[in-house]
Structure 1
């Protein structure tokens, strides 16, 4: 590619596409829960059906956008720290090589829109896209590294993401358990 900035908007579009697909899916589930609880009919006194759906979609889109933007920020930081520790490249050429990888997430986000009726499908597409991007990342940066450096990057990435995921899951379980323990049953 001649201009390295040609794909600079792909991360934003990928975040929007994944956020939109998750927002639509969660909105469908949330509307069903609200209808079953009898809350939806009360909401219709203040909003139209379209207004309720648009408000929920907008709020969920903003929520998921913030989550994916934070994940992108963390991912960029982890990628650059792993390059700092293990790469022989001091000019930043490796970052230029991996920039086109944002197309992978853009394609994954577009595909996720076809899986609106399956939360598992959307999550599987996101995880699959992430695995494909990780393989692309390692493949593109490996020429500027020794074999030990490449193994170090892989190990570093796996340890950091595993620790983050485990920590978030642990906190979620703790909050869930404390809420369940506080309910008068």
Structure 2
């Protein structure tokens, strides 16, 4: 029996991404991921429901953090400022994860099923933010428009952040994308 090593979940994620890059998502099996990580299939399924979830495991945490920050913003702040608090909070999740995010994104964009799952994740985030804004007293359609705009800012900033030559931190790119949205909507 081998020596126990910590961070099984992280090892499985790294092994999966490496195999997806080498062989492709469709051609990679759970057994191969577990073997590469030095673990069993049973251990894999303790951490992930299926091989797709390796790529989307952090979605719930991202949504929860974003919603909690927006909900926790002072009631006196404007809707966009509350959403900015949420954007700032999620930007911190990405510190020191650029290479993982780049590899993850490459796997997702190469597979139609995974692209669809990514869109579902973003739609779920927008719906949760819309509900949060409604609970803050923002009426429709403003709540939906603002939530969708915040998700668009996040998506654009993320895509810029993972670009091959990009080195700026995620919070800076979020602020820049938010400023560009404000400029567009103000007619500047």
Give the shorter-chain TM-score range. 0.3 to 0.5
Greater Rg by CA: 1
Higher relative contact order (CA 8 A, sep 6+): 1
TM-score (norm 2): 0.35
TM-score (norm 1): 0.36
